[in-house]
Structure 1
Amino acid sequence: MSTSTHVDKLTITFLVDNCIEWMTKLPPGFVHELPQHIQLYPLPDEVTGVPIVDFDHFCCGAHGFAALIETQIDGADSHFTLFDTGPDSQSLVRNISAMKIPVKKIEHIVTSHWHRDHTGGLLSFLGLRNATPGTPCIVDVHPDRPYARGIAPGPNYDKVVCALPADPTFDEIEKAGGVLQKHVDGHLIAGGTIWVSGEIPRVTEFEGGMLGGVRWNKDKWVKEQHIMDERYAAIDVAGKGLVIFSACSHAGIVNVVKDAIAVFARPIYMIIGGLHLAGPEFSYRLPLTVKFLSEQLRPSPTYILPMHCSGFQSKLTLDAAFGEGCVPAGVGLKVNVVGDRERDKELFPPVY
């Protein structure tokens, strides 16, 4: 199985997330939204001479996830990939404008799975990107798109209370100008710098999916707790290890990590995204998950960024286990990861 080339530079900009975090101290390489605006896009006031904090042009939070991933190898041209697109037609395009993202450089969109909080901004983004001529954007999806998915809450999980808005159809994606690519198996994109997984093996005993998950099948709702179309993305940074994007972790983040290690045989440097540990249904998984990541996995991750559907309690528990390694990420935040090939040789010498 082919895996990605070591990346020398990785830059991440979070474009959709539930949270906005402007003030907490961040580790080196992490940059809040506010200083990015002040340093890069100043609007000087004629009277005071200092930049104005223009709240009309800053990011807004929304229940969903989207991240711009920029990867670069040895000074070559960067590849720009959008991982998920948020829940609606407005959040992503607004925040792209706020962060002044060069949309024409985005060559690839990856949808992690078919849930509207991850696909809702896809068509509006394609409309924004294709407003001017240029190379079409590839849209990488799992082929098993449901007609509808719904929510059947506990304690019995037997009554469907609502359906999620429909995901974009394949025809709608192509009519919006996207070049549709359907993938079941793991594969490389972005010049070999990003690995998009196939089906995630369920190997843990305690990560049992989403008990209230249901899917419309022909003429009725059927239980669908495992969401098998979910994929994660991984980037292997030289001298650091794997940076994992798991937008919702329906498979369980431990299953995701175990699969990534099996594919790459490399350590985990950073875990990013929704860990789906919020609420009473998932509370029993939280101590088991944190114990695996902080005590059983060796080396343990340097950074964990619990976002989107992770839940407040998971952030507290991970903060207690990882300290500053648990980073309070949110929309507008930028992360710069610089590789080190010499350090990579020292830490991970080749086996002959």
Structure 2
Amino acid sequence: MKIRLLTENLASDMVWLAEWGFSAWIEFGDIRVLFDTGYSDVYLRNARHAGIDLEEADFISLSHFHRDHTRGLLFHPFQSRKPLILHPRVLTAVLDTNKQAVRKDYAEIQKRIAQDFDVTATSGALEFSDGAFFLGEIPRVTGFEKGAFFDDPMPDDTALSFRTPKGAVVVSGCSHAGICNICEYAKSVTGQKLYAVIGGFHLLHSEDPPVEQTIDYFRKEGPEVLMPMHCVDFDIQSRFQHEFGGPRPGAGSVIDL
């Protein structure tokens, strides 16, 4: 299994572009999955630089409706109708804002999804290929995670999980649902312990995140690979690297599992 980060807040070195957002190209067995598309065409430009033909994607999936994960669809290059897996709320949700430009963006994203893709909208977990799971709506079970984005309960926030010989691999987009909630559900869906957890952990000071409880959770779970990125404040990122080691990947990085 191999993951190439196409969009991330930081660039892994000077030859890649970065923006606030997330997109990953996932190679798992015989399938290729584009997970999220970031905010702009950065994922396309980094894919070209990496020699990745996005037309080879077997599936596209979205982690939730926010534009830093979905707006890249406005620039998509697909000539054929690709299978797109998402939570139903992505098709209707709009940020609570009076800004017309933002509302117009969401309307255009949702229109493009309906017109250009073969959509599977599910709130339940879906095994879309052998050992590859779209987790759907995440149960809130930890007690210490808010599982929300301010006043928005974010039922659409989800992740992908993959069953591997070493255990479950979790790839999260933003983790508004709570990264520990996501991991608990991934363990249940795959029937495996955690091997790798990669992606946005949504630990931002503006939302009073449960940093100590989250670190304690991963100490107990002991995944071999733990890579928080995207929506994690710098000092919290540093805490994780101090506690668990490992690199801080960015746009352009390849994670080979």
TM-based fold match above 0.5: yes
Question: Which amino acid is the alignment partner of residue 115 of structure 1?
Answer: H
The structure-2 alpha-carbon separation of the partners of 1:113 and 1:168, relative to structure 1 and needing over 3 Å to count, comes to farther
Counterpart residue number, 2:25:
68
Counterpart residue number, 1:316:
238
Counterpart residue number, 1:7:
none
Question: Which amino acid is the alignment partner of residue 237 of structure 1?
Answer: T
Cα contact 2:24–2:35 (8 A) shared by 1: yes
Displacement after TM superposition at 1:246 (Å): 1.2
The structure-2 alpha-carbon separation of the partners of 1:80 and 1:171, relative to structure 1 and needing over 3 Å to count, comes to same
1:229 aligns with 2:156: yes
The alignment covers a number of residue pairs equal to 254
1:106 aligns with 2:57: yes
Counterpart residue number, 2:88:
143
State the SS of the aligned residue for 1:94. helix
Displacement after TM superposition at 1:211 (Å): 5.3
The structure-2 alpha-carbon separation of the partners of 1:167 and 1:286, relative to structure 1 and needing over 3 Å to count, comes to farther
Displacement after TM superposition at 1:166 (Å): 1.6
State the SS of the aligned residue for 1:120. helix
Question: Which amino acid is the alignment partner of residue 235 of structure 1?
Answer: F
Task: Output one character per residue of 1:73-117: Cα deviation in whole Å (capped at 9) or x when no partner.
Answer: xxxxx21110001012x2121111111212221121001111111
The structure-2 alpha-carbon separation of the partners of 1:12 and 1:250, relative to structure 1 and needing over 3 Å to count, comes to same
Alignment of 1:213-292 (within 5 A): 223-224=151-152, 226-238=153-165, 240-283=166-209, 285-292=210-217
Counterpart residue number, 1:15:
6
The structure-2 alpha-carbon separation of the partners of 1:167 and 1:96, relative to structure 1 and needing over 3 Å to count, comes to farther
State the SS of the aligned residue for 1:293. helix
Question: Which amino acid is the alignment partner of residue 143 of structure 2?
Answer: E
Question: Which amino acid is the alignment partner of residue 230 of structure 2?
Answer: H
State the SS of the aligned residue for 2:168. strand
The structure-2 alpha-carbon separation of the partners of 1:230 and 1:174, relative to structure 1 and needing over 3 Å to count, comes to same
Alignment of 1:87-106 (within 5 A): 87-88=39-40, 90-106=41-57
1:301 aligns with 2:223: yes
Question: Which amino acid is the alignment partner of residue 329 of structure 1?
Answer: P
* Separation of aligned partners in 2, 1:206 and 1:103: 39
Identical counterparts, % of pairs: 28
Displacement after TM superposition at 1:289 (Å): 0.4
The structure-2 alpha-carbon separation of the partners of 1:147 and 1:201, relative to structure 1 and needing over 3 Å to count, comes to closer
The structure-2 alpha-carbon separation of the partners of 1:261 and 1:147, relative to structure 1 and needing over 3 Å to count, comes to closer
The structure-2 alpha-carbon separation of the partners of 1:168 and 1:196, relative to structure 1 and needing over 3 Å to count, comes to farther
Counterpart residue number, 1:188:
127
* Separation of aligned partners in 1, 2:67 and 2:149: 18
The structure-2 alpha-carbon separation of the partners of 1:167 and 1:101, relative to structure 1 and needing over 3 Å to count, comes to farther
Displacement after TM superposition at 1:265 (Å): 2.7
* Separation of aligned partners in 1, 2:195 and 2:131: 16
Q: Structure 1: where are the runs of 5+ without partners?
A: 1-9, 23-54, 73-77, 152-158, 213-222, 338-352
1:332 aligns with 2:237: no
Q: Structure 2: where are the runs of 5+ without partners?
A: none
Question: Which amino acid is the alignment partner of residue 253 of structure 1?
Answer: I
TM-score by length of 1: 0.67
TM-score by length of 2: 0.91
* Separation of aligned partners in 1, 2:213 and 2:192: 22
* Separation of aligned partners in 1, 2:85 and 2:130: 15
The structure-2 alpha-carbon separation of the partners of 1:197 and 1:167, relative to structure 1 and needing over 3 Å to count, comes to farther
Counterpart residue number, 2:67:
116
Say which is worse superposed, 108-117 or 309-318, in terms of deviation.
309-318
* Separation of aligned partners in 1, 2:102 and 2:75: 21
Displacement after TM superposition at 1:292 (Å): 1.0
Cα contact 2:39–2:72 (8 A) shared by 1: yes
Displacement after TM superposition at 1:282 (Å): 2.5
Give the greater-gyration-radius structure (CA).
1
* Separation of aligned partners in 2, 1:323 and 1:99: 27
Displacement after TM superposition at 1:311 (Å): 1.7
Displacement after TM superposition at 1:260 (Å): 1.3
